[in-house]
Copies of this chain bind each other. A is one copy, B any other.
Amino acid sequence: MKWKRTHSCGELTINEVTQSVILMGWVDRRRDHGGIIFIDLRDRYGITQVQVNPNSEAYNEAKKLRSEYVVAFKGVVVARPEGMINTKLKTGEIELVASEIEILNMAATPSIPITGEINASEDLRLKYRFLDLRRADMQSNMIIRHKTAQIVRNYFSDNNFLEIETPFLMKSTPEGARDFLVPSRVWRGKFYALPQSPQTYKQILMISGFDRYFQIVRCFRDEDLRADRQPEFTQIDVEMSFIDEEDVFSIMEGLMVRVMKEILNVEIKTPFQRIPYNTAMEKYGIDRPDLRFGLEIHNISDIVKESEFKVFSDTVKAGNIVAGICAPGCGSFSRKQIDDLTAWTKEAGAKGLVAIKVKENDWDSPLNKFFSDNQRKEIIKQFNANDGDLFLFVADEKNNALPILGDLRIKIAKQQNLINPNLYKMAWVVDFPLFEYSTEEARYVACHHPFTSPVPGDLDKLLSEPEKVRARAYDLILNGLEIAGGSIRISDSDIQSKMFKALGISDKEAQSKFGFLLDALKYGAPPHGGIAFGFDRLIMILTGCSSIRDVIAFPKTASAASLMDGAPSDVSSEQLLELGLKIVDGL
């Protein structure tokens, strides 16, 4: 390198005209116009047009330039002629007239396009990630990710939180998802585990008196991967002492206000809505409802119970429900459209779908005769339905009907363009159940995790009626996604022991897995609670990306492989021998 760079490719303006400067970057585009060579020189900061004239010393070298060559230009900044100004570029008013050139590196023809629309397969993009990351949208995603992390860290620091690093090589305590294991060489036959979350450590930190902890931290889950999961992911991890739910909410709301304002320039109102879990299920059929549109589910069981329409009345009498949504303006749906919706609903597991159009403030349906005037009016009133709307009813078991209607609600909203993509609707979902029954494991498992505090009033049901115990757990939802989840923790070692018992974990097993936490709880644990925030998903929302892989610099595929470097890979037999391990046929 002969020179020092004086400016980036994104900063020269009319103010620098006549200055002599040195720029370095990549050849984004080269055009030859009547003997003059024009180079669009690119770096992370922008693009500057460079002009190399045939009489310049740089000309012969410039002729060698190809796309993605790395090059340095020395030259003078000149104003572009009136008609040539590019108002889309920050540097669009000037160009660099090059007097000298140094080619810093050559480049093979890129295997995927760097500029413009990307139509390469994702596998090819991942294999050539070093090229893919040059693309403007990937650069922007990484910059937004960096900025957001900085905002998060400064916010928590400003609020007296300490970032404390917790171990990556920890004890294996699988509860829920599988741990990634790390064989120990020094302690042959023993293993560390990579953290699924720093949960136990952050509780220890509260017991140690750190009062307010956060960490932006990598976590690991060896799950069978779904499209949008990664074996390693990043979490904003938070824990606070001497607090209750509202303290956690207000800290996190403040964070979201700051992030949304600084990254998207969007103003978010606080406090966020609080929605009990049961309400969410009943109104939206899901525990993370998209609140950007209405279309709420209404339960009409009480009204139709006495109707002559057997499908409905028998359902209610059998202890199940009739519920539905009112699709605005969909009264004009064709027979075909309604048949398609019905087929879709059956596919989703419902027995059927009853569609009724609203016309002249009454139903417009062959079913009218099975219902009294009053029943029909009552239902119209309950939904606040208007002429031209379409009722869509499902009669089924509650646990089946509600999620299907929840999906139908979203399907209709998308189809009818009811979702404003510029809205950001956040809410807290609260009062989750503490347990759910796992038929696979034939025992109750923790909905959140085994350190979640029961609601004090439900404590007496912990062992007798576990399914009725509510948890002091909460989720933060945004536009139909769960972006954070947390709880007030158990700070009493007796209750923690009881909790393990309710989960069918023996004293011995609890002691061997979580003995240090049970111990620590006996030495003066403060009331505490916290939350964990899916950082990758947050960045996905902030960047408007549809894949989590587009906001991670070096992601794995859905089958947990890294296509760029070929991980995981074979290792040498010496390495295995040192670890005292042998590869055998597994399950």
- The residues of A with any CB-CB pair to B shorter than 8 Å are 1, 4-5, 8, 24, 26, 42-45, 68-70, 72, 104-108, 110, 128-131, 133-134, 139, 142-143, 145-146, 149-150, 153-154, 157, 162-172, 174, 178-194, 200-201, 204-205, 207-211, 218, 220, 222, 224-225, 231-232, 234, 242, 244, 247, 491-492, 515-516, 519-520, 522-527, 552-554, 556, 559-562, 564-571, 575, 577-587
Contact = CB atoms under 8 A, between A and B. Distances in A.
Contacts of A232: 167-169
A191 B526 contact: no
The 10 A-B residue pairs with the shortest CB-CB distance in the complex, in nearest-first order: A107-B524, A580-B586, A133-B208, A190-B568, A171-B567, A184-B568, A68-B524, A130-B520, A171-B565, A146-B162
Contacts of A188: 583, 586
A584 B580 contact: yes
A167 B234 CA distance: 11
21 contacts: A26-B524, A68-B524, A72-B242, A105-B491, A105-B525, A110-B523, A134-B208, A146-B162, A149-B163, A165-B234, A167-B556, A169-B231, A169-B562, A181-B575, A182-B568, A183-B183, A185-B222, A186-B224, A190-B571, A580-B583, A581-B583
Contacts of A204: 129-130, 133, 554, 564
Contact of A586 (B142, B167, B552, B579): B579
A220 B70 CA distance: 34
A552 B165 contact: yes
B569 A174 contact: no
B189 A583 contact: yes
B134 A567 contact: no
Contacts of A184: 560, 568
Contacts of A107: 522-524
Nearest to A219: B168
Contacts of A142: 162, 164, 210
A524 B570 contact: no
- The residue in A72, A104, A225, A553 that gathers the most chain B C-beta atoms within 10 A of its C-beta is A553
Contact of A146 (B157, B201, B564): B157
A205 to B, nearest CB: 7
Contact of A570 (B45, B189, B587): B189
Contact of A209 (B43, B191, B208): B43
A183 B584 CA distance: 12
Contact of A108 (B1, B207, B522, B575): B522
Contacts of A585: 580
- Majority SS of interface residues in chain A? loop
Contact of A168 (B70, B134, B149, B194): B194
Contacts of A207: 130
Contacts of A4: 244, 247
A24 B168 contact: no
Given A104-B242, A188-B586, A516-B565, 18 more contacts: A1-B242, A24-B242, A24-B526, A107-B523, A130-B204, A142-B210, A146-B164, A150-B163, A164-B553, A167-B556, A169-B567, A171-B567, A182-B568, A186-B560, A192-B567, A201-B554, A204-B564, A580-B583
Given A210-B44, A580-B585, A131 B523 contact: yes
A163 to B, nearest CB: 5
A565 B218 contact: no
A163 B181 contact: no
Nearest to A108: B522
B209 A571 contact: no
A580 B492 CA distance: 40
A581 B582 contact: yes
B562 A105 contact: no
A1 B128 CA distance: 55
Contact of A194 (B182, B208, B519): B182
A68 B520 CA distance: 12
A214 to B, nearest CB: 10
A192 B183 CA distance: 12
A577 B586 contact: yes
A146 B562 CA distance: 33
Contacts of A553: 164-166, 201, 205
A247 B5 CA distance: 11
Contacts of A110: 523
Contacts of A130: 204, 207-208, 516, 519-520, 523
Contacts of A143: 162
A184 B68 CA distance: 36
Contact of A562 (B26, B171, B575): B171
A584 B580 CA distance: 5
Contacts of A523: 68, 107-108, 110, 128, 130-131
Contacts of A577: 586-587
A128 to B, nearest CB: 8
